[in-house]
Structure formats: C-alpha cells, structure tokens
Amino acid sequence: MSFSQYLYSATWFLPVRILLSFLYRVIITLRNTLYDLGIFKTHRVATQVISVGNISVGGSGKTILVQALIEYFSDHKKQSAVLSRGYGRNTKGLLLVADRSSLKIDPSAAGDEPFLIAQNHPGIPVVVAEDRVRGAQYLVAKFLPDVIILDDGFQHRRLHRDLDLLLMDQPANQKQRLVPWGKLREPLGNIERADLFLYSKSGMRENDQNNLIFQLDNQVCDHAGNHHELSGLKGEYGLFAGLGNPNFFFQSFEQQHYAAHARIAFVDHTQYDSAQKEEISQISCTYWITTQKDFIKLDSEFCQRQNIYYIKVKAKLPETLIRHLKQHFK
C-alpha cells in the first residue's frame, strides 16, 4: 500500500480530507464563477476543438473515446490532432509526442496515454502541454488540423471548445463528495456546462442511448507484436493493471475469457519499477493479461519471461454523439 492509499484509508485522516474537500469546493466554485462572468478569459484558436472530460477521478474511458473520435474523423476525411496534459510524465512544458511521420519521445516523457494514442494512430499529431491554449496554438501553427481533440479538458476552461463531451462514470448511489473526501473533481451541478453526457462503466444506465459501450478485442498481442487468438490461450492466468478503475477491466476480461487465477491492481499511471515487477513475478501463472497502457511501460525481456500479453479496448460511439459530430464538424 502506498502512502497516499494509507492516508485515504486511515480513519484519523478523515477530518483533514473533509476540510480539504471544503476548501477545494470554495476554490473551484470561485474559479468557475470568474469564468462565467468573463473575468477569466477563454481563448479561441483558428480551428475547431472537441473536449473529452469527466467529472470524477478515475478511469472513465477518456483515452478510449479519444481514439474512437480519431477514427471517426479519419473516416470522414478530416485531419485531427490530439492535445493532452500528459499526466504522469517526467517532463514539463510543451512537447511534441508525434508528428505526421513518427513518434518523437518515449512513454515516460510523453505520459502513457498520449504515447498510446500516438502509437495506435500513426500520422496523427499529438502534443502534451500544461498550458492547453499554448498547445492548441502550436498544433494550429504547425499542422493546421481540421479539429483538435482535447483530452481531459472539462476542467480546463481557458481553451474554448466547440463541443464539450462529459463522460459520466459516477454511480447513482455514490456519495456526491469532492476530492479528497470523495471522487468528484467538481460539484455535480457543473455538468450543465457540457454539450453532451455519455455514460460509461459504472455510470451506465439501462437501455440509455447515451451509454458508451466498450469492446475488448478478440486477440491479444505479445512483446514481439504478434497477435494471438484469445480463445487459444489456456491455463491459469493473471490480470494486472494500473488504471483509475482496474476492476472494470478485470471483470470485463473475465466475462469474455474465464476467471483469472490472480488479479493485481496497481495505482493509476504506475511506471513499473522493480517493486511492481517483483510482485508480478512472485505469482505463478501460465500467462498474464494487461492493458496496452500498462504494456508500453514494460520492457520486452520481462514480458517475454513472464509471458505477458496485452489486449486492446475500443469504444462504440453512440448515435446521439454521432449526430452531434455531424452537426458541429461538417
């Protein structure tokens, strides 16, 4: 258990979390009010922007939706580019992760999610920058895309967006508490800023046409880039992942395959140092399955020795979103 996990589970620390949550509410409310009044300025760039965001911490599926949007725009002959903060990277400032020809930096410098997006979509420019306005201006000046996809952009109001998508993975029965007491990044009332809600994972509603459906591939990939039919893998296997919501991945995979012998949930954006590798190595399994986001941070030798495969996940865009895309991005 990490120190942060210990603090979150410690009863004695709860009053501190409640106080910090109250102070955070005051700050976020003041900030949003200043944007609403026009005192804090929103900046436009010379291309259209679509934002993908969420209201709570954890893995809502933003990166998977970003990739689905890239494919949608590509199918409709539009050049897209991706702008992200690059959470978890060991660098600062504006960096080009990939241009139209090749990857430029590794996962540790780019952040695992921007690197994954660039790796899966050659020819799509990807930039990371804390200053999203500067990052968008750079993309426009250097690549002239038809649309910029802003990853994790709901709380970053300095950059104007033409379509604001909000992923809702908040269960209806979950307490509405702000971090660090709860999991909300903003009060739930702020969801009214979004143009469209999409319900994902634990927030999905029965038979709702705004549900974002995730689909696991029928194949897995190994360290050498070879594809294998999932149905052909036999024996006791293990699952591990460093995600905001690893249990959703574990449960989805077991529904498609069969029950795992072992599960290991690491913290989100885990970099896989010797401690994490040792934890995997200590459990005897015929093979391991993880996500592509985790796999790209592991060296080939370790993956070969432990017989580790990754599986890709895709999202099926709901018809309501497709109608919005056709309306805003003609």
The tens digit of pLDDT for each residue in 302-328 reads 999 999 999 999 999 999 999 999 998
For 68, the enclosing helix (H) or strand (E) is helix 62-75
- Give the predicted TM-score (pTM) of the model: 0.93
The per-residue pLDDT for 1 is 57
The per-residue pLDDT for 7 is 62
Residue type, 143: F
The per-residue pLDDT for 209 is 87
Non-local CB neighbours of 231 within 8 Å, separated by 6+ positions: 218
Q: Residue 91 CA to chain centroid, in angstroms?
A: 19
Q: Exposed, middle or buried by CB within 10 Å (0-12, 13-18, 19+), for 259?
A: exposed
DSSP 11: G
DSSP 318: P
Identify whether the C-beta of residue 80 lies closer than 8 Å to the C-beta of residue 70.
yes
Residues of the chain with pLDDT under 50: none
The per-residue pLDDT for 4 is 62
The per-residue pLDDT for 170 is 72
The per-residue pLDDT for 57 is 84
